[in-house]
């Protein structure tokens, strides 16, 4: 069972990378994760990401930053996302 609560996603198509924007259901802090699949990136590894294909990058962002970047809709809230289930 996944603990990801998906906000938005795009499957990989052709040469374009796939991505998923999500929260972790059991975390209480106000953060979102942006997972990019099939990208080139310079990364300093702090920990390992088990189970992800090569070229996967996961960014942990404050929700406010994700909103500034246009990744999270202005009206989206963590609690409202859980009500849709």
Q: List beta partners, residue 22.
A: 6, 33
Asked whether residue 71 carries a pLDDT value surpassing 70, the answer given is yes
Residue pair 66/32 in contact (Cβ under 8 Å)? The answer is yes
* pLDDT, tens digit (0-9, with 9 covering 90-100), for 28-46: 888 999 998 888 776 655 5
Higher pLDDT, 1 or 24: 24
Asked whether residue 83 carries a pLDDT value surpassing 50, the answer given is no
| Model-wide pTM > 0.75 | no
Q: Which spans in the chain are helix H?
A: 63-68, 78-83
Q: Which H or E run includes 28?
A: none
* pLDDT, tens digit (0-9, with 9 covering 90-100), for 49-60: 566 666 777 788
Question: What pLDDT does residue 50 have?
Answer: 61
């Amino acid at each position: 069972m996944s603990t990801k609560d998906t906000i938005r996603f795009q499957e990989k198509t052709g040469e374009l990378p796939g991505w998923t924007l999500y929260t972790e259901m059991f975390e209480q802090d106000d953060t979102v994760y942006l997972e990019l699949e099939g990208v080139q990136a310079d990364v300093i590894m702090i920990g390992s990401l088990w189970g992800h294909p090569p070229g996967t990058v996961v960014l942990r962002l404050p929700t406010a930053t994700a909103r500034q970047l246009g990744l999270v809709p202005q009206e989206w809230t963590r609690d409202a996302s859980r009500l849709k289930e």
